[in-house]
Amino acid sequence: MTLDVYGVGNTLVDIQVQVSDDLLESLGFAKGAMTLVDHETQQRVLEALGELPRNQCAGGSAANTILGIAGLGGRTAYAGKVGDDPLGHFCLDDMRANTVTVDVPFSDGPTGTCLVLVTDDAQRTMLTYLGVSADVGPGDVDPELLRRSKAVYVEGYLFSAPTPREAAYRAVELAASSDATLALTISDSFLVDLFRDEFLELAQGPVDILFCNEDEARSLLENEDSRECARQLGEWVPRVAVTLGAEGAVLVENGKLTHVPGIATTAIDTTGAGDMFAAGVLYGLTNGLDFEQSARLANRAAARIVSQLGARLAEPISQEDIPRLAGL
């Protein structure tokens, strides 16, 4: 069976909690940022949260996108690493229940977790303990599944450690030797400061589709003009999507720049908005939509994500609704 998208990323269990600004400030973490923490720090924060309600689901950037594609009706597979513990079993069971093909062995050590603290202004502050997800390596990338896929999706977070970086480059190598389209998401601005040269080399080389938000684009090219950044990236990459938050996204395809307006909504939680945008675009491109139509669908799906708590659509988008949401 042909797959639409094969994803490679850090496999985490997301734990979402709504908190006040005062509580977040007392914890001492930068609002709106992703911070890598150790297990003890994350447990200390969880204890400080007391009995506040929590929502738990399989996550991680690429996993959210793969689950989003599956939720739209796409055929997906995923490579990652989880521990042989209750969270690891929960994570794989959750992904398989959502029709994602996941054939990864359990590993010694704890499953990675991402504690997502959501404030009333819809900002999310993420405290990530990578656990065994930091050990995902080139051997975890399945050549057969990848070669059966129309597209391969690699998350930028993989570049934050040596072994996951090798997994990312293995996926890049296999995509280049197959007919699969290679899509890369930058993932986070802090990664650009550390790995700018690597991201630029990939953009100027094998990447077919590049996803980033405007902060990441500005940081990558050290230019404050988001549209100019998109235009410059479009000189290297066949398809570029720079998300602009509530303003939608700027697309560049074969040098042509197009603005796709955002969808008005009341933001509750921005967790997973970029991941869902990538899901909409990749689902569309692998199922007969053009780039602009795919981005329209992606904007609609992302707007639904930010209007709820969590990175998974509470109400799935039906196949019948997709043409209308794509503007057909």
* Domain at 306, CATH number: 3.40.1190.20
Is 213 inside a domain boundary?
yes
Range in 75-79, 297-301, 307-311 with the lowest mean pLDDT:
307-311
Is 266 inside a domain boundary?
yes
For residue 58, CA distances in Å to 13, 55, 218 come to 5, 11, 30
Q: Which pLDDT score, from 0 to 100, does residue 310 have?
A: 65
Considering its fold, how many domains does the chain have in total? 1
| CA 283/CA 151 separation, integer angstroms | 10
Give tens-digit pLDDT for 87-106.
Answer: 999 999 999 999 999 988 89
Q: Which pLDDT score, from 0 to 100, does residue 269 have?
A: 67
> Dihedral angle at the C-alpha atoms of 32, 185, 223, 119, nearest 10 degrees?
-10
Residue 175 token pair: 């995509």
Is 124 inside a domain boundary?
no
Edge to edge, what strands does the sheet with 55-59 contain?
Answer: 34-36, 124-129, 112-118, 12-18, 55-59
Q: Which pLDDT score, from 0 to 100, does residue 309 have?
A: 67
Is 49 inside a domain boundary?
no
| CA 8/CA 272 separation, integer angstroms | 16
Is 274 inside a domain boundary?
yes
Give tens-digit pLDDT for 201-260.
Answer: 999 999 999 999 999 999 999 999 999 999 999 999 999 999 998 899 999 999 999 999
Is 289 inside a domain boundary?
yes
Residue 184 token pair: 């890369």
- Summarize the confidence of residues 163-183 as an average pLDDT: 96
Residue 2 token pair: 């042909």
307 or 53, greater pLDDT: 53
Cβ distance 249 to 277 under 8 Å? yes
Range in 56-60, 70-74, 182-186, 274-278 with the lowest mean pLDDT:
56-60
Is 260 inside a domain boundary?
yes
Q: pTM for this structure?
A: 0.92
Q: Which pLDDT score, from 0 to 100, does residue 135 have?
A: 93
Range in 31-35, 163-167, 278-282, 297-301 with the lowest mean pLDDT:
31-35
Judging by DSSP bridges, how do beta strands 55-59 and 12-18 pair with one another?
Answer: antiparallel
Q: Which pLDDT score, from 0 to 100, does residue 281 have?
A: 98
Residue 189 above 90 pLDDT?
no
Q: Which pLDDT score, from 0 to 100, does residue 293 have?
A: 98
For residue 318, the enclosing domain spans 3-11+59-109+134-325
Mean of the per-residue pLDDT values of the chain: 93
Give tens-digit pLDDT for 46-55.
Answer: 999 998 998 8
Three-class SS state of 310: coil
Q: Which pLDDT score, from 0 to 100, does residue 311 have?
A: 66
| CA 126/CA 306 separation, integer angstroms | 16
* Nearest residue to 137 (alpha-carbon basis) of 21, 9, 243: 9
Q: Which pLDDT score, from 0 to 100, does residue 313 have?
A: 79
| CA 42/CA 46 separation, integer angstroms | 6
Cβ distance 153 to 241 under 8 Å? no
Give tens-digit pLDDT for 113-157.
Answer: 999 898 988 888 989 999 999 999 999 999 999 999 999 999 999
Is 283 inside a domain boundary?
yes
Three-class SS state of 253: strand
In which residue are the tokens 């050290």 written? Answer: 222
